Amino acid sequence: MQNSPWKLRCAALCFTLLSITGVQLRPLAEQEKMIQLEAVKKSILDKLGLHKPPVIREKMDKDEMRKMYWLYQEKLMELQRNGSKEDTLERRVHLLTPKLEHSRKKCGMHGSNSHRYSLVFSRTQTIHQQLSVMRAELKLCKEMLTALRSAAANSTSKAMVHIYKVSESKHANGEQEHKLLDSRLVDEDTLTLNVDSAVQQWVSSSEKCLRLELEITFDKPFVGVGSKRIGADATLVLEVETQEHASSKTRRVRSLSDEDCKKSEKKCCRKSLLVSFEQIGWSDWIVHPTTYEMRFCDGSCPHNYKPASMHAQIKYRMHHINGDTPAPCCVPGSYDPMVLMHYNAERKLVFTVFEDMIVRKCHCA
């Protein structure tokens, strides 16, 4: 019983210390938030070369403040222009198969020595007018080429393949017009025909379908190749490689949807914490923005998940084999800048650009 007063004093002291530090008096999530906020405050002060927030007794008048806001907006626009110069060019390969029909109409000067096929390609959702066509090739299947080489060998003749663009005639007779795009001799295992001009014109137009005509000719009369040998079952593929601009805004929208952590997400992803400069007591010297969305990367990095490089993949394998090599960590992959308008140590209103303040993308490195 003699130790009771001492125990009471110790308990009171411990409770006082816990109250001051906040340990175990707040939920774990709240403690983590407080730690993150302190890290943000310390980092901003270090970046600005300040040991503590400046004390502001007199602020600018309204005219000077309006001028600074105008300069602030100019700086934001400059950063946006610089970002647009860094827009990436996204390339994509589209594979289109045509509706193929054997045609009896005559095309060109080859007469009975030719066999022709009407090809109709329909526009898909991924083929739109903003695309630039980098390459467009019509590829003939191996079975078709084998049949053509076999037929040519049996008749000691040479087989040629021609591709035409078909369009409605501008004349009163209504006849279709055929423009030769490319011709190739059938002498290899693979054969591609260049149709760049026709596809680019089609993609940039509002036409729903692209109409081509494939003609197979022999230099000697031959009746061994027809719709039964190479007809509607023949496989033709139109391979179109396109390019389009992916703007900074598009990238940011995609980044928000793809990068942000989903509910109960445990793999590497991006988390956010909204920082209010008013709530942390900094609104007297930080003028704009009033809030800052702090984003950080968190989560596990399993095998081949968002690898930053081949080195990250090798690093994971080495860690998996012996455990001596550290496993890849979830870290920022790219950033968006932020402009802070604030009073400096001399109590002058200035703005500072933080190039790596806002995490755009997370990956494993």
What mean pLDDT is predicted for residues 58-79?
Answer: 81
Distance (Å, whole) CA 257 – CA 13: 49
Q: Whole domain around residue 196: which residue ranges?
A: 91-245
Distance (Å, whole) CA 239 – CA 143: 18
One domain, residues 115 and 151? yes
Q: Which residues contact 76 (CB under 8 A, 6 or more apart)?
A: 339
pLDDT exceeds cutoff 60 at 58: yes
Q: Strand pairing of 176-185 and 114-122?
A: unpaired
One domain, residues 76 and 111? no
pLDDT exceeds cutoff 90 at 164: yes
Tokens representing residue 357 in the block:
């303040």
Sheet holding 209-218, edge to edge: 99-103, 114-122, 209-218, 159-168, 176-185
> Which of 227, 245, 263 is the C-terminal boundary of a domain?
245
One domain, residues 98 and 232? yes
For the packed helices 62-85 and 248-259, what is the interaxial angle rounded to 10 degrees? 80
pLDDT exceeds cutoff 80 at 248: no
One domain, residues 202 and 308? no
pLDDT reported for residue 282: 93
- Minimum mean pLDDT among 7-16, 119-128, 350-359: which range? 7-16
Tokens representing residue 12 in the block:
């009171």
Distance between first and last Cα of the chain: 60
Is the CB of residue 178 less than 8 Å from the CB of residue 106?
A: no
Judge whether 9 lies within some domain.
no
| pTM score, whole prediction | 0.46
Is the CB of residue 151 less than 8 Å from the CB of residue 159?
A: yes
pLDDT exceeds cutoff 60 at 87: no
pLDDT band at 85 (very low <50, low <70, confident <90, very high): low
Q: Which residue has the tokens 């968190």?
A: 298
Distance (Å, whole) CA 104 – CA 125: 32
One domain, residues 117 and 148? yes
> Which of 187, 213, 245 is the C-terminal boundary of a domain?
245
- Displacement of CA 22 from its chain's centroid (Å): 44
Residue percentage of the chain with pLDDT more than 70? 72
What mean pLDDT is predicted for residues 64-82?
Answer: 80
Tokens representing residue 142 in the block:
């191996």
Q: Strand pairing of 286-288 and 291-298?
A: unpaired
pLDDT winner (highest mean) among 125-134, 202-211, 216-225, 229-238: 202-211
Tokens representing residue 349 in the block:
């209103």
